[in-house]
Structure 1
Amino acid sequence: MSVLVLVLAVSAACCLGFGFVLQQNAAQRAPLNDFLSFRLLVDLVKVPRWLGGIALMVVGMALGAAALGQGELSLVEPLLATNLLFALALSRRQTRQPLGRQGWAGLLLLAGGVSAFIVAGEPQGGSATADPTRQWLIIGAMIGLALLLTAHAKRSRLNSGPVLLALGAGLLYGVQDALTRVSGEKFSEGGFAGLLTGWQPYAVLALGVTGLVLVQSAFETASLRKSLPALTAAQPIAGIICGVGFLGDRLRTDAVALSWEAGGLLAVIAGIVLLGMHPAMPTGAAERARAGQLQPQPQ
């Protein structure tokens, strides 16, 4: 694994993690009638904290794109999942909660799972020249599943809705990362002319904006404990599926390697859940309001 790819991917994860915390701090105060509406972005763009979070997210995406230009999608995606570590670090600073056993267990599972997957799988790059049939099947399946999750989330916005929206956004962001890699190769081969004549950069933009609406709606209606773990878990899995499915990334496929790869991904997901549910993660405004409604009123 290239040291440059490691530095770029972890730096991207740092910016994304800090950015998500700032975005959720602002989004939780947005009007609930903006749920799943582009009006939500119009309202949030007036909030300096949210703009700071978006700026960090843009820097993180740029660093992630640079990492994808130097390394395989199946390598970069698990490293980007460590954004939750940085989100927890900033949340701990805000809430002053100790890390405790849960935090250390989540940290070790996430870091160990990422390491196990990379060491066992030994991701190797293929060509970003995608197989058209598999490309459209996989992209269609990811987007279709994201739409189904979003449709169900609209019917349960304050219950399972935030988790479903975050899962849908993670799927979209995983596809976006795959198409970012294709766009980077087109740019290196044909410059801006070669890039702008393809459909991929426009799809990257559309997926990014749509994913942003889903994420901010999830942040608006629930705490980071509910939304961020689902987002962080879905994105690398979707990215790895795209990388192996139609971008030609290669992983070791012998029985031992596959066992370690599967175990590594399960450890990553378990670590994400533990860290996401850590008490340091702030409680959303909507959840606090519901908790207040459930408390007995003083006589």
Structure 2
Amino acid sequence: MTALAIMFAVISACCTAIGVHLQHQGVRDEAEASQRGPRVARRVLRNRQWLLGFGTLFTCAVLQTVALALAPVTIVAPIVVLALPATAILNAHTSRKRLDRVATTAVIASAGGIAVFVALASRTATAVAFSPSSVLLACQIIAGTIVLLGVSAALRRGIVRCVLLASGAGAGYGLLSILARDVMYTVQIGGWADVAPVSVIGLVVAFAVGSWFIQLAYASGPPDVVVGCHTVLNPLVASGIAIWLLGEAPAASTWTAVGMVCAGLVAIGGVVQLTRHHPQVRRAATQA
């Protein structure tokens, strides 16, 4: 079952790059064609590229949910980072702005760091039932984080605003993985009657807020920077909550935990370097 879950998660991650590219192009086209505000939102919702991207990402979300029903969060969630190199390659091809050596190394570091994280996590992660009180605490922690990042983003512009919004989306999507796993596992064990209301409500809110933050981030930066931020934060948040708050890896040794932390830091460092050396970001800084 775990191998099947990984297969679904890999397909979802690769297709995410296509959906992200389509939505990013739709948002940027409409933002440039009209003033910012409600008018842009209405135009985006009618944009064919954006709608096609939404359909693609919705399919990816279904595949991700199926994967979460078959394997622990700690194994499935990190695989989404494969969307980063796929998006970087697609964006470089369409924009004709190739990544330089540092940016390419940053993408490889992020993907490699998460790959090591998954390898370590898969050795100790086991499917467990999440208690409603722990899920509620996770929702409160992530909600506070998202509010802080959202307020900070509202006060900034350009690539910093993009990174803050994409990070907020990553935190929201990380919680989304936890809640989706909680709902699917509970249904498998006891049926829909045993599903905690907080998980269902949190699932809807996390998806809505994460999606909104992503759209706002598209308007402020290149798609691979957006994907880099939220696909790295997403699995780190999901796995961190699953392991240290919800007890999904009770047998993890100290050295395994240290290795996972180091791998996560490498992945985050890769994203930081990508935001500094991305050709579109450097071009914008030169023109400013």
Quickly name the TM-score band, shorter chain normalised. Answer: 0.7 to 0.9
1:271, distance to aligned residue in structure 2 (A): 3.2
AA partner of residue 230 (structure 2): L
Q: 1:53 to 1:179 in 2, by over 3 A?
A: same
Tell me the equivalent position of 1:124. 125
Instruction: After superposition, give the CA deviation of every residue in 1:144-199 in whole Å (9 maximum; x if it has no partner).
Output: 1101111121122446322211111111111111111112123334556666x834
Q: For residues 64 and 271 of structure 2, what CA distance do their matches in structure 1 show?
A: 19
Q: Is the 8 A contact 1:84 1:275 kept in 2?
A: no
1:27, distance to aligned residue in structure 2 (A): 1.1
Instruction: After superposition, give the CA deviation of every residue in 1:268-295 in whole Å (9 maximum; x if it has no partner).
Output: 2233344566647x569xx86x865x4x
Q: 1:107 to 1:227 in 2, by over 3 A?
A: closer
1:246, distance to aligned residue in structure 2 (A): 4.2
Q: 1:239 to 1:193 in 2, by over 3 A?
A: same
Tell me the equivalent position of 1:213. 212
AA partner of residue 188 (structure 1): Q
Tell me the equivalent position of 2:170. 170
Map 1:180-199 → 2, pairs under 5 A: 180-189=180-189, 198-199=197-198
Tell me the equivalent position of 2:15. 15
AA partner of residue 126 (structure 1): A
Q: 1:100 to 1:61 in 2, by over 3 A?
A: same
Aligned residues: 284
Tell me the equivalent position of 1:254. 253
Q: For residues 261 and 227 of structure 2, what CA distance do their matches in structure 1 show?
A: 22
Whether 1:72 aligns to 2:75 is no
Q: Is the 8 A contact 2:81 2:228 kept in 1?
A: no
Instruction: After superposition, give the CA deviation of every residue in 1:39-78 in whole Å (9 maximum; x if it has no partner).
Output: 6543311111111111111111111111111111111121
Q: For residues 23 and 49 of structure 2, what CA distance do their matches in structure 1 show?
A: 7
AA partner of residue 234 (structure 2): Q
Q: Secondary structure at the match of 1:167?
A: helix
Q: Is the 8 A contact 1:146 1:171 kept in 2?
A: yes
Q: For residues 74 and 209 of structure 1, what CA distance do their matches in structure 2 show?
A: 23
Which of the numbers 33, 50, 54 marks the counterpart of 2:36? Answer: 33
Higher helix share: 2
Gaps of 5+ in 1: 295-299
Q: For residues 58 and 46 of structure 1, what CA distance do their matches in structure 2 show?
A: 17
Gaps of 5+ in 2: none
Q: 1:168 to 1:250 in 2, by over 3 A?
A: same
Q: For residues 225 and 250 of structure 2, what CA distance do their matches in structure 1 show?
A: 31
Tell me the equivalent position of 1:62. 62
Per the normalisation by structure 1, the TM-score is: 0.82
Q: 1:145 to 1:7 in 2, by over 3 A?
A: same
Q: For residues 47 and 123 of structure 1, what CA distance do their matches in structure 2 show?
A: 45
AA partner of residue 232 (structure 1): T
AA partner of residue 124 (structure 1): A
1:126, distance to aligned residue in structure 2 (A): 3.2
Tell me the equivalent position of 2:86. 86
